[in-house]
Structure 1
């Protein structure tokens, strides 16, 4: 009926040996560099903890959030992912590194660094949690969305969640969230939790829950009956009340064609303001997303082109506005 503090600090992960609850690993990882940040191990069910040394300690950029994953089929295999802690050095908020040991329970585990350059801009300083492949942009979010899990039967297969979800097969990486190649069939951005139910991988992110039984090749959406989308703005087709577009928080811009079709994703980002052409509303729309990024389509969303060239976006709000002139559809004011 009571709790005892066994290990102080910002606990960011806790992993147990699959067949021996007495053996545990913990990550202490405040996003700001702290003396207590690091990897810890217990062999007495958490009654006491000892720090585990690794290459991350000699990296002058500093340890931030710590994520861990033990291989269910071989608990000697442990993966450690560490955020570059905030200390005005290195790539604060990016990925300090990803390491693997095959002797997790030895007195002094040995570590091998895993190359993550395929998951970012080729530097490896940002990694799977500091790079957004959908926008080809550096987004240092390892303090926010960072999760690891190992395949239940193959210790060489690792899933690493950041903005996208990446799969490592022991030699190379692939982006299995499909944010780039087919986003309408993939999963939402910003991965936070993963679990196995048999051979089914369940992933929780900023958009809800998805699952895959084929290693991320295809996904099942478990959110179709959850009415939780937050819309910033919307527009209705000038002639068809069953045709609308809306910009949603962290869910991009979506198109609605009434029942039974419902809502269909058309453009990414944090969806914002949008307008229909009054002369060609079936095919011509302008949609926007965060920081006043405006895109135009002339083929009902099959493709988009930039419509914001020339706008000075200095000081633009995260969700900015634009409105269409009622007398001339080609005149739009934005700010």
Structure 2
């Protein structure tokens, strides 16, 4: 989870003992983390998860050159990638070097010297992070995994989409993974689906639809042919309508449905991309909604927009999920997120979210009817994910909704009417981000539910009336559950910690984040001055990680990792290092500063330099305005001078013990 790293409760405890402890001990931390390996429950009273993510996206947008509240053009990134590819091609042609990417390296950097001078990069890991922040026991983790599709007849074949690591395929049940879309114009994957009538055809939607403040936009859809072969063909991006207008770029793909017998016919829903709840808004974006293609296998597929709400085809609404009755492509349920009034064309009035049903989806102009109203105008209140089952003639649909901070509805008539089964707060406090659900294809009463830390993975055997947690070894922040159609005992699960598998219907779990799966999102990296092995770097929701002197990886600190720095006067066998967590000046819960360690094998025992809760600490003031990741850098001197930035610049020449303001205070008044 994108979590607060230094806990309010722990910091209050530190204050009560006169700030005597030089570091935050693992034992003390555990007092507050029994229900969440990343964040204490006490912090939730200080700052909402949405505010946390909002601050995070402001910082990431700043690094991308996107000003807060200012429009940007998503096509610029695509143009830059295409230009980079052209430059690389010219360079390789001039040097005569072969084009391609080297195989995954070992945990050691000993193979770095093998990288060709032509510019080939050698991956060094982590493959995976060996000691993840997981429930109950520590298991290996990787990065955020948001979409899973399992082969209809072979549970060993699966396709997995990641937040910023592209698409992976396994043909041996997760023992090994192969990246398929590293050269795509977007590595942010929102959904992946296999054509039921031809499993060698896979459709992939780019752009992450999780509504978090760092869910990046996409470029439309890709099609993969001969998908399970050694040489799959990737076609795309596919994003045009019949008039050659781009109707998907800059958005995220919520879901793709494929006709059960004719994969030329598909339905695609689109949602907001980067900053779903954040401040950065792409300019001149196509309206969101539901699209249909009847030539999806052609050389130049096109889409037609369909009307779901009363506004008509001009509507601009987040359609976050879709479900189709098995074997009947005319019956589709669409999940539409609530909206505030928007100055779109045509204007979008404020409206609740809800579930919409059509029974003539193949008609030239399908008719949708709202069958479940979900009160609210935000994704936090109305995001709803769907799962569908058909046994005999009964079509059972489950809807896991953000309403009431986590509610599950069931329909036994194909989405015509709904019954509230449970209101258990399963996704509180981040329902815009953590919702996933699936159902056993052979047993409509066995349902699987994922949400926030309170319920990473739950099992119901009574049709959703109650759920029992089965989360040991899982990383929290649940995004995807996929039951194997041909063997319901096999379940794949995706979260902020990577990819997992159960072979006993969710009873126990095995991490599949292994040496061939690399989805970790690094925010920074710092190198030792003389030893090329020793490196530290901050990651999204997987702590600050290090490569030690022996070339092996380990997570060295908890939570979200930010900036990292290593003193360049460190000895050949020692190290002085720093990193930031998430920073905040929230009233009564400020965290302002950075971590320090000289332990080359440090593990969750870093000393904190700065202010906690209120007042001043090590010369840093809690009331400063500050970025999500406050800038941190080292300068000259022995030891290196440390610079830390809030709305003023601090400098320390004694390893952070005393920080002195060396700029205006504040530097600029907005």
Do they fold alike, i.e. is TM over 0.5? yes
Three-state SS of the structure 2 residue aligned to 1:100 is strand
Whether 1:242 aligns to 2:533 is yes
- Alpha carbons 1:147, 1:192 under 8 Å: kept: yes
Paired position in structure 1 for 2:562? 272
| Alpha-carbon displacement from aligned partner over 1:18-47 (angstroms, at most 9, x marks no partner) | 343333222111454843631122233463
Whether 1:174 aligns to 2:469 is yes
For residue 69 of structure 1, the aligned residue among 357, 362, 387 is: 387
For residue 43 of structure 1, the aligned residue among 334, 338, 359 is: 359
Paired position in structure 1 for 2:432? 143
Residues 230, 101 of structure 1: CA spacing in aligned structure 2 closer, same or farther, 3 A cutoff?
Answer: closer
Question: Shift in Å at residue 5 of structure 1?
Answer: 1.2
Whether 1:156 aligns to 2:463 is no
For residue 303 of structure 1, the aligned residue among 597, 604, 612 is: 604
Q: Equivalents in 2 of 1:210, 1:279: separation in Å?
A: 40
- Alpha carbons 1:321, 1:334 under 8 Å: kept: no
Paired position in structure 2 for 1:233? 524
Whether 1:328 aligns to 2:654 is yes
- Alpha carbons 1:80, 1:99 under 8 Å: kept: yes
For residue 196 of structure 1, the aligned residue among 483, 492, 503 is: 483
Q: Runs of 5+ in structure 2 lacking a partner?
A: 1-294, 296-302, 310-316, 342-349, 584-591, 641-652, 662-670
- Alpha carbons 2:580, 2:629 under 8 Å: kept: no
Whether 1:98 aligns to 2:416 is no
State TM-score, norm by structure 2: 0.37
Q: Runs of 5+ in structure 1 lacking a partner?
A: 85-94, 117-123, 132-139, 179-184
| Alpha-carbon displacement from aligned partner over 1:209-262 (angstroms, at most 9, x marks no partner) | 44443427323334644556554333445675422221134543112137874x
Q: Equivalents in 2 of 1:113, 1:296: separation in Å?
A: 49
Question: Shift in Å at residue 17 of structure 1?
Answer: 2.3
Q: Equivalents in 2 of 1:259, 1:225: separation in Å?
A: 21
Whether 1:5 aligns to 2:296 is no
- Alpha carbons 2:340, 2:378 under 8 Å: kept: no
Residues 210, 321 of structure 1: CA spacing in aligned structure 2 closer, same or farther, 3 A cutoff?
Answer: same
Of structures 1 and 2, the one scoring higher in RCO (CA 8 A, sep 6+) is 2
- Alpha carbons 1:72, 1:151 under 8 Å: kept: no
Three-state SS of the structure 2 residue aligned to 1:165 is coil
Paired position in structure 2 for 1:221? 512
Paired position in structure 1 for 2:422? 114
Whether 1:79 aligns to 2:398 is yes
Structure with bigger strand share is 1
Three-state SS of the structure 1 residue aligned to 2:457 is strand
Q: Equivalents in 2 of 1:100, 1:334: separation in Å?
A: 57
Q: Equivalents in 1 of 2:511, 2:353: separation in Å?
A: 37
Residues 293, 113 of structure 1: CA spacing in aligned structure 2 closer, same or farther, 3 A cutoff?
Answer: farther
| Alpha-carbon displacement from aligned partner over 1:113-157 (angstroms, at most 9, x marks no partner) | 4132xxxxxxx3xx42x43xxxxxxxx3x3344322224455333
Q: Equivalents in 2 of 1:157, 1:216: separation in Å?
A: 13
Three-state SS of the structure 1 residue aligned to 2:383 is strand
Paired position in structure 2 for 1:137? none
Whether 1:14 aligns to 2:322 is yes
| Alpha-carbon displacement from aligned partner over 1:72-124 (angstroms, at most 9, x marks no partner) | 6686443223335xxxxxxxxxx554133252338544x134132xxxxxxx3
Residues 332, 201 of structure 1: CA spacing in aligned structure 2 closer, same or farther, 3 A cutoff?
Answer: farther
For residue 582 of structure 2, the aligned residue among 290, 301, 305 is: 290
- Alpha carbons 1:31, 1:143 under 8 Å: kept: no
Residues 37, 279 of structure 1: CA spacing in aligned structure 2 closer, same or farther, 3 A cutoff?
Answer: same
For residue 25 of structure 1, the aligned residue among 296, 314, 333 is: 333
Paired position in structure 2 for 1:135? none
Three-state SS of the structure 1 residue aligned to 2:306 is coil
Paired position in structure 1 for 2:546? 255
Residues 171, 7 of structure 1: CA spacing in aligned structure 2 closer, same or farther, 3 A cutoff?
Answer: closer
For residue 315 of structure 1, the aligned residue among 583, 601, 625 is: 625
Q: Rg bigger for which structure? A: 2
Q: Equivalents in 1 of 2:501, 2:338: separation in Å?
A: 30
Residues 77, 319 of structure 1: CA spacing in aligned structure 2 closer, same or farther, 3 A cutoff?
Answer: same
Residues 6, 61 of structure 1: CA spacing in aligned structure 2 closer, same or farther, 3 A cutoff?
Answer: closer
Three-state SS of the structure 2 residue aligned to 1:315 is coil
Q: Equivalents in 2 of 1:101, 1:149: separation in Å?
A: 12
Residues 66, 99 of structure 1: CA spacing in aligned structure 2 closer, same or farther, 3 A cutoff?
Answer: same
Q: Equivalents in 2 of 1:113, 1:61: separation in Å?
A: 23
Question: RMSD of the alignment, in Å?
Answer: 4.2
Paired position in structure 1 for 2:177? none
- Alpha carbons 1:72, 1:150 under 8 Å: kept: no
Q: Equivalents in 2 of 1:284, 1:73: separation in Å?
A: 62
Q: Equivalents in 1 of 2:466, 2:358: separation in Å?
A: 31
